Amino acid sequence: MANPNVQTCPVCGVKIQGGDKVIFSSGPVGTRARLWARVCNYAQKPACINQNQEDIGSVKENDYYKPLP
């Protein structure tokens, strides 16, 4: 039986638990804001489940991807 508190995005495949806990395929757990800043903002697919600004919340500077120098 599937967990009703877990959503899986059909676009990128990440799992969102309990509203704001994002399970990436690798790396630490993140937030909807971090997911949006690193993936959804660029993918811009209609099926993305992380497009509601109220759910995403405030995106902070450290949510964006920064490559190592």
* Stated pTM of the model: 0.85
Q: Which residues, including other chains, have CB under 8 Å from residue 9's CB and lie 6 or more apart? A: 16, 47, 48, 49, 50
Q: What is the pLDDT of residues 14-33, one digit of tens each?
A: 999 998 999 988 889 999 99
pLDDT band at 1 (very low <50, low <70, confident <90, very high): low
Q: What are the residue ranges spanned by the domains of the chain?
A: 1-49
Residue listed under structure tokens 């190592």: 68
The predicted structure's pLDDT at residue 57: 95
Task: Please state the rounded mean pLDDT for residues 35-62.
Answer: 94
Structure tokens at 20: 């704001």
Q: How far is Cα of residue 20 from the mean position of the Cα atoms in its chain?
A: 8
